[in-house]
Structure 1
Amino acid sequence: MDTSKSAEAPQQSGEAASSIISSTQAEQGVSMAQQNEVPSHLISSSQAGQQEFAPPPTWFHGVFPLQNGLWGAQINSIPLGTFMTEIAAARAYDSACHIHFGNTFFRNLLLTNVTIHEPSFQSLYTSEVIFNMIRDGSYEPNYIHFLCKNCPNFHYCESVVMPTLLDVKKGFLFKEMFRKELLLIDVEIQNLFILPHEAISCFESFNSNTGPIWIEFKDRTNQSWKFKLCFVHTPPQYMFTEGWNNFFKEMELCVNDIVLFYQYKDQQNFPHRFSYMIDVIRGVRSPRMQRRRR
């Protein structure tokens, strides 16, 4: 694909501010982040040796504060730019990680009905173009334009809201395990939920169990849900039996809703504790793709 054409983008968004600070300041911020992703202190160039600058802490991975009150982001020591807000830097990190690692990374923010379409958008571009759009602030405007043009859910929306602090759980990082878009059969049989094939590898530590086990999941509100996990050998698949009906009714699940399953780690405890989370995205319809990256 002609990457020069793909890199054309609207003016940078209000939250991205890559050109606000000098390149020297940005390099200093990135250098500090490489040494310590969340530096305990930075020394102001005008007050070196006199007064320490104590930046606010951040639980976001790949995000670090700068001396001028802005925020930097990086992935594998690769700078992603400078941003007006901490949440914008966290979104940039998540977007860069997806094009770089796929789903095998711990996210800062939970997926939403907006960001769940990012793989379709990113498939139109090379990694280099995606990284450049993130740096110059055009990634999110281009992505919103893509949603309005290709996704039926957003055709008549006056605005598209990117993830906010409402899609964050302080101190938690999330790795998507698997997801399932509900079909008619999933809605008709409410006391049984057959998990997708990807669940087999996610729960492989339980494969040696001789019988069903109970697994606890937390939702966005921190409410606990317990499901009985059963394994069927022919064909090999996992399913939830007892407990699923309660979740189904409480969430009022419908056809086309997507149920997401995460593994998350709590950074506020050491060593990090890994747990499970369940989330629901309502009535998502896939975008109508016209072209894909080759």
Structure 2
Amino acid sequence: MRAIEIYRPAELADLIITDQPLPSPAAHQVLIKVVAAGVNRPDLMQRKGLYPPPPGASAVLGLEVSGIIEAIGSEVTEFTAGDPVCALLTGGGYAEYCLTSASCCLPIPKGLSFIQAAALPETFFTVWSNLFDRAKLQAGESLLVHGGTSGIGTTAIQIGKAFGSRVIVTAGSEEKCQYCQKLGADLAINYRQQDFVAAVLHHTDNRGVDVVLDIIGGDYLPRNLKCLAIDGRLQQIAIQHGGKSEINLASVLMKRLTISGTTLRPRSDDFKAKIARQLFAKVWPLLEAGQLEPIIDSVFPLTKAAEAHERMESSQHIGKIILEI
């Protein structure tokens, strides 16, 4: 089968097509004939040698796919060969075939294409788990999302609004801010032109927001804490500005703040299966009803994976970047 392999990880030119043996599913796994694969920032980090796959995971890039189940393991009962699915992976998505646990697969929502379905797993699993399982976001509460036009951001805006939250986002241009508001954001802040802390406090009458979902880290940490209301929760899911920062812990004490962080890839199949069940019950009906939709920025063939990475690194994209296999 064709798959993307990394040579000299720092260079885009070193994403090349290779021929690899067809994998066979273990008892709890399915083999998927991949139609489309999502591109995510962890893929870029892995390409640069900054995010090695967890033990036992495929070294091939790709954390989410859509496709057709080709074969099933001996213990799999919920799917059969021929079923169209989208799936969360620990790696291996940039290939014609990939393996994953059957518990990390979901049926493609009715009405969605394979391209759209490939944009669902990584962002929807991440946003749902962090906003509702960890940050305990409730209807009527307020949410600040950084990177409003990223795959995470466009998903968080829609899910936050669908479940009754007031959503504020940051983005890097007026065009992106307008798009976020089109998706439902109550306020979009151009962080290149405005102090987002001042804008958030002004919008909330100095109360602050209940939850911050942050992919930036670094120098954003103390600013995020200033944005939080009493009993506010900061949910850190990426660190694009680095993993180090300095804060005044007095504000954490005085406002009873909670700071939490997660990464999804190394978590167990059982943990991911729980999220999958929640999404199927609570979010899949909204996708099928057209109340939510995956936002697709662009689609590249597998042979243009390097160009897809360049598109993501430019930060000009709005929504998800997809590889069509």
Larger radius of gyration: 1
TM-score (norm: length of structure 2): 0.26
TM-score (norm: length of structure 1): 0.28
